[in-house]
Amino acid sequence: MFSKSELERILTDAVGKRVAEVDVKGVLGSGLRNKGYVGAVIEQSVLGYPADNKRRPDLLVDGVPVELKTTGIRRSKSAGGGYEAKEPVSVTAVRPGEIVHEEFDTSAFWEKCAHLLFVYYLYSHKVSSPAEYGDFAIKGFEFIDFDDEDKALIEHDWTVVRDFIREIQCEYPQNPESQYPRISSELNRHQLAVLDTAPKWPNPPRFRLKRQFVTLIANKYFGGKFDQLPTHYSSLNELERECQRLTRIYSGKTMRELCTQLGIERKTVSKRDAEMVVVRMFGGIAKRMRDVEIFNKFSVIGRTFVLTKDGRKTEDMKLFPIDFDEVGDESVAFEDSAFRANFADSSVLVIMFEEPGAGRPFSENVFKGFELLSFSDAFIEREVRSVFEKCRSLIVNHELRIEPQLRKDGTQRVNRNGQPREAPNWPKAKDGVVFLRGTGMNSAPEHKSLVVNGLYMYPQNLWIRGAFIAGRLRNLSMDQELSRRHREL
């Protein structure tokens, strides 16, 4: 039992210290195997109570049950900077035999989630032993009581899971367990905005706050500012319907016409202005979709994609930055990696334009509309896992190389500044649908800021081949009534 003021005093005293400094009970050296080492230190050494696995919330604060969540954050590798959550926040088990009889406000889930205490620590490097968790700094803490808008989002997602399990039990009364793997595979993308469930049945799944949702919560705590749209969206379905409405209004206009109509003043209109146009369509003022709160909550990223008049690609699509410390850490399984989570947790809002002809300025490209795409389990297993495993093999086996880029006749290709063209031997576009590509201002050595295995290179991103995206968009345009599962890649 704590008072809120007492708890704030205790945790304030811990902020800024390394985990090892506050581990007065030697939790990290106890020899216990525990994935949540930092959480165990906060529980036992800082707050002075034993850990337990009971379903009730951890603490009583002024008589109110509060669930403690010790949450790792790390510096974001995206262009927006800030922090990102190391992983989703697990809340409680999905128990099919019980959830079907529950209502949200009295559910075991909401009992654990209604009042949360997040304690943030900076996950600054990979670890190989419990003692190394002691290096991490405690960055802050906050009490979280979700407002009505966020509670509605959470309730929507929980209800989708509950109703889906009810449907399974009704349709397969003799053996509902045979269908329970669908809970995670069919619902996590497109139908669930801020929650997901993992792992897959027969491993007991748990409700989790999505990693991007936790990232948003953390960045707001640390001072991040996000654009609030004038319209509230309670689900991804509502967001998608708004995309369809906006397409009807703006489709057929050139990029220059859109800028004029939406009050965006530009002497020269470029591709980077497309996201600002989209935000203005939604009634916002931010320059990038990543600065809009609802897109962060829903794990929606915006990507501009230009097609030719006959529906073919003009470019590949840049997706996610890569944490090479994680890729090279053999203790992190693909299933638990941010590498996989970027694909599994995100939807891509494709902002489609059509070019009037090759070489014409972007201002003349014509807006065609939106498609909200997600990545299926099959795509992730087929296309993403192999890239992850190849990258890990190159790092772990010290087979990563910087290789010269040659012409067909075998001679060295040279950049305009006279630097020989070269690139690391990561998986490339010729090797598969998903590949790596570096991004830099020019080939000068100072722009090669990423170091992997002692080799300097441009910052690397995961990309997806444009021909694959264009093909999927052509198929979708043939039947606008396709179910959402068919909108998965």
Digit-coded pLDDT (tens) for 113-163: 999 999 999 998 888 888 899 999 999 999 999 999 999 999 999 999 999
Torsion sign (Cα): 146, 149, 153, 159: positive
Residue 231 lies in a domain: no
Instruction: Tell me what pLDDT residue 485 has.
Output: 40
Query: Do 294 and 342 share a domain, yes or no?
Result: yes
Domain count, the chain: 2
Examine the fold and report which residue of 190, 221, 252 is the final residue of a domain before the chain moves on.
221
Instruction: Tell me what pLDDT residue 441 has.
Output: 66
Residue 483 has pLDDT above 50, yes or no: no
Better-scored residue on pLDDT, 49 or 475: 49
What is the mean predicted confidence (pLDDT) over 161-171?
97
Give the pair of three-digit tokens for residue 173: 């009364």
- pLDDT band for position 245 (cuts 50, 70, 90): very high
Written as one letter, the residue type at 369 is G
SS3 label, residue 343? helix
Better-scored residue on pLDDT, 32 or 112: 112
Residue 226 lies in a domain: no
Query: Do 462 and 370 share a domain, yes or no?
Result: yes
Residue 232 lies in a domain: no
Query: Do 436 and 291 share a domain, yes or no?
Result: yes
In angstroms, the CA 212 to CA 76 distance is 12
What is the mean predicted confidence (pLDDT) over 187-209?
87
As a whole-number percent, the residues of the chain with pLDDT over 90 amount to 73
- pLDDT band for position 172 (cuts 50, 70, 90): very high
Residue 330 has pLDDT above 60, yes or no: yes
Query: Do 272 and 361 share a domain, yes or no?
Result: yes
Residue 480 has pLDDT above 60, yes or no: no
In angstroms, the CA 395 to CA 26 distance is 34
What is the mean predicted confidence (pLDDT) over 208-229?
95
Instruction: Tell me what pLDDT residue 231 has.
Output: 95
Query: Do 179 and 260 share a domain, yes or no?
Result: no
Query: Do 207 and 338 share a domain, yes or no?
Result: no
What is the mean predicted confidence (pLDDT) over 247-273?
95
Among residues 456, 229, 184, 459, the alpha carbon closest in space to that of 344 is found at 184
Classify residue 143 as exposed, middle or buried by CB count within 10 Å of its CB (0-12, 13-18, 19+).
middle
Query: Do 264 and 343 share a domain, yes or no?
Result: yes
What is the mean predicted confidence (pLDDT) over 211-225?
95
User: Tens of pLDDT along 146-160?
Assistant: 999 999 999 999 999
**Cβ pair 276, 290 in contact under 8 A:** no
User: Tens of pLDDT along 447-456?
Assistant: 788 999 999 9
Better-scored residue on pLDDT, 436 or 481: 436
In angstroms, the CA 242 to CA 100 distance is 31
Mean pLDDT for all residues in the chain:
90
Examine the fold and report which residue of 164, 194, 221 is the final residue of a domain before the chain moves on.
221
Query: Do 470 and 383 share a domain, yes or no?
Result: yes
Residue 227 lies in a domain: no
Instruction: Tell me what pLDDT residue 486 has.
Output: 41
What is the mean predicted confidence (pLDDT) over 47-66?
80
Residue 286 has pLDDT above 60, yes or no: yes
Residue 229 lies in a domain: no
**Residue 442 belongs to domain with CATH number:** 3.40.600.10
Residue 106 lies in a domain: yes
**Residues forming a β-bridge with 116:** 67, 144
Instruction: Tell me what pLDDT residue 79 has.
Output: 61
In angstroms, the CA 65 to CA 49 distance is 15
In angstroms, the CA 439 to CA 191 distance is 33
What is the mean predicted confidence (pLDDT) over 389-413?
91
Residue 383 is classified by DSSP as: I
In angstroms, the CA 101 to CA 147 distance is 26
What residue numbers bound the domain in which 72 lies? 4-221
